[in-house]
Amino acid sequence: MATPNESTMALSQPRVWARANIGGLLGYAAIWAFFAIFLIYPLIRLFYDAFTTDQGVFTLVNFYDFFTDSYYLKSLMNSLLLGVGTVITTSVLGIAIAFLLLRYEFPGRNLFSYLTIIPMIMPPLVGVMGFVFIMGRAGTVNVILMDYLGFSKPINFMYGIHGVLLVETLHLFPLMTLSIVDALGKIDPSLDEAAESIGSRGLRKFWDITFPLTTPGYVSGALLVFIWTFADFATPLVVGVDNLLASQAYLNIVQFVDRRLFKMGIVISAIMVILAIVFLIIAKQYVAIKDYSSLSYSKIERKKLSPWSRTGVLVFLVVVLVFAFIPYFGIALDSFGKGWALTPIPVKYTLRYFERVSIETPKFIINSLLYSGLTVFICIAVGVPVGWIMARTKVPGRDLLDSLTTLILALPGTGIGIAYLRAFREPLPFLNTALIGIWIVIPLVLGVRRLPYTVRGTFASLLIVHKSFEEAAESVGATKMTTFKDVTLPLIWKGVLVGSLYSFILALQEASATLLLVVPGHEMMTVGIFNFYIGGSVNEAAALGLILIILGAVCLFAISKIAGTKMGGVFG
């Protein structure tokens, strides 16, 4: 999330212009057109709606209403507090795990480094559902407490803002781990040794050396965690919390009765987008100095642990993982269990729910794969050139492109979903339907939302490939196209693939913008989960959720095989 170090850019401007051909220019223009139509215009439209009346007259009344309404203000406060709280809890877990995995040797380290990433694969709603099955008032834990241990009342683990915090923490700490692993991996161990040689140890060393060097990575991870929590409306709604900004935006938008509430939904989304931009700018203060050029990972000597500390580490990791895997147990049980209520585990089992969501209505899985596939296609078609432009050229507007891609990461899904709803509701030229009435809008919005991962992946890989390879090819007469195809691409495909797989997993799981934009008849798995859930068919929702989780785990496994430990790079 930073402007790359200037020293890595050797190409000077005149040369670019001299070589730029019409095709290149057109391509560059096409990329800008994509950004203009599918990112800038919807956001402008959102702000336009927020600052005007239904008649299109400029007004500040909407914002006045927001900031004088005690309920909205409380929601805003709650959202901010929840976001900060989640950043703190995920930091504690994430940093601890990152350090253990990176700096110490213990049995099962490799397995743990894969397992601790897994909780990230948790489609919204599925995580909280799984938690409620196990830790709800009638969940396994409480049933055991009451039926076997004599508790008279269930313990309230879930209902309330603490439940949201629990779910978000155990879902998002891997993001933090990844960011820290990435940042720590780039610190030269010689710095550590140097510090130690002059007597700086333990906390002192951490504070003086490690902390400042990992700050950029940490800040970007923290921002992602914050925004994710900030924009999630599904989790709070399941546990009965609706005084959060995202929940208010969603609830106001999906009701059609009261025009005024609908308008306030738009206004809340606009406020969320503005806040996200503000946070991004603040975060940028910290990461602007980040140096991409040291992307090559340094080799780290792992320390051996004494038997006691080894046991301690294992116990810690196992406990964290057991908690983080609670939703998987819950979802798995409920997807097979029939009429499960008030018993520790279901009494009757059936395959009926899987049959219903896969064989009887295959559209969920098919649409999910199709749309996510198209999303990856869009990500590659747009993202790889953007990554290349950022790494290899100095064309005007490059910095703006960089800022825009970063902005996408920070945009709350609810906000962009509502922006699309407002921006693309007029019928398209030559067609009778509006863009939001055609299914293609889903891959488009997903493509935009997941673009940064491909851009980062490409960018990071390109920086490792030295330009001299390309220059050598060009000096013997290869065109830019051939060079890219024969030299650059084979060298960077791994990075692009990893970025694309991330885009794929995250597209599969997206359920904020798409929930608002889904076209009836073209539902994907996440929408299916949501619709089944609110339609009262929790078991079907669980079955679909389990399928989605398994798909995600397979992709993640593929990534870890391809990328080794370098998984953090795309989040930078």
Partner 1 sequence: MKRIIVLLTVLLMGFLCFGGISFGQAIENELYLITPVSKDVHDPALKAFAEYAKKKWNIDVKTSAIPKGTPVAYGQILEWKGRPQADVFWGGEGTLFDNLAAEGLLEQVKIPQKMWDEIPATIGKPVGLPLKDPKKFWVGTTLEPYGLIYQPKLLQRLGVTIKDWDDLLNPKLKGQIAQCTPDRSSSSHASYEVILAMYGWEKGWEWLKKLAANTGIFTARSRDVPNVVAKGEFAVGFAVPSYMAFAEVLAGYDVMFVYPSNAYVTPEPMAVLKGAPHPKAAHAFIEFLLTEEGQKLFAGLGLYPITPKFKVQGPPGSNLEKTVQFTAGIRSFYDIQVGNVYDDKIAGPKKRIEEVNSYFRKEIAEKHKEIIKEK
Beta carbon nearer to partner 1, 147 or 193: 147
Mask 292-331, x = binds partner 1 (CB under 8 A)? Answer: ----------------------------------------
> Rounded CA gap, 99 and 116, in Å?
13
How many Å apart are CA 284 and CA 290, to the nearest integer? 10
- CB neighbourhood size of 201 (10 A): 9
CB of 83 to partner 1, least distance (A): 21
Q: Which of 19, 204, 303, 338 binds partner 1 (CB under 8 A)?
A: 338
Q: How far is the CB of 339 from partner 1 (least distance, A)?
A: 3
Asked if 162 is part of the footprint of partner 1 (rule: CB under 8 A), the reply reads: no
Distance of CA 174 to the CA centre of its chain: 11
Q: Up-side HSE of residue 134: CA atoms within 13 Å toward CB?
A: 19
Closest approach of Cβ 235 to partner 1, in Å?
A: 11
339 touches partner 1 by CB under 8 A: yes
Contact with partner 1 (CB under 8 A): which of 48, 104, 159, 323?
Answer: 159
Task: Give whichever of 146 and 209 is closer to partner 1, judged by the CB atom.
Answer: 146
CA 556 remoteness from chain centre:
14
Question: Contact between 70 and partner 1 (CB under 8 A)?
Answer: yes
- CB distance 361 to 551 below 8 Å: no
Contacts with partner 1 by CB under 8 A: the residue count is 32
CB 266 within 8 A of CB 46: yes
Q: Which is nearer to partner 1, 160 or 373 (CB)?
A: 160
Which residues within the stretch 531-560 sit at the binding site for partner 1 (CB under 8 A)? 534-539
Tell whether residue 137 is a contact of partner 1 (CB under 8 A): yes
Asked whether position 74 contacts partner 1 by CB under 8 A, the answer is: yes
Per-residue binding letters, 238-277, with partner 1 (x by CB under 8 A): xxx-x--------x---xxxx--x----------------
Q: How far is the CB of 401 from partner 1 (least distance, A)?
A: 38
Q: Are 134 and 141 in contact (CB under 8 A)?
A: yes
348 binding partner 1? (CB under 8 A): yes
E strand or H helix that includes residue 235: helix 234-238
Exactly one of 106, 292, 340, 484 binds partner 1 (CB under 8 A); that residue is 340
Q: What are the helix (H) ranges across 104-210?
A: 109-115, 126-135, 140-147, 161-185, 189-197, 202-205
By the rule CB under 8 A, 150 interacts with partner 1:
no
| 341 part of the interface to partner 1, by CB under 8 A | yes
Task: In angstroms, give the least distance from the CB of 130 to partner 1.
Answer: 13
Buried b (16+ CB within 10 A) or exposed e, 513-530: bbbbbbeeebbbbbbbbb
303 CB contacts (<8 Å, ≥6 apart)?
103, 104, 105
Note whether 243 and 74 are within 8 A (CB): yes
68 vs 285, beta carbon nearer partner 1: 68
Residue 106 to residue 94: CA distance in whole angstroms: 18
176 close to 90: Cβ distance less than 8 angstroms: yes
Q: What are the φ and ψ backbone dihedral angles of 52, each rounded to 5 degrees?
A: -130, 165
138 binds partner 1 (CB under 8 A): yes
| Distance in angstroms (rounded) separating the CA atoms of residues 513 and 27 | 28
Q: Which is nearer to partner 1, 237 or 451 (CB)?
A: 237
Handedness of CA 398, 27, 567, 103 (dihedral sign): negative
Kindly indicate which of the ranges 207-215, 374-382, 530-538, 563-571 contains the residues binding partner 1, using the contact rule CB under 8 A: 530-538
Q: Which residues bind partner 1 (CB under 8 A)?
A: 70-71, 74, 132, 136-138, 156, 159, 237-240, 242, 251, 255-258, 261, 338-342, 348, 534-539
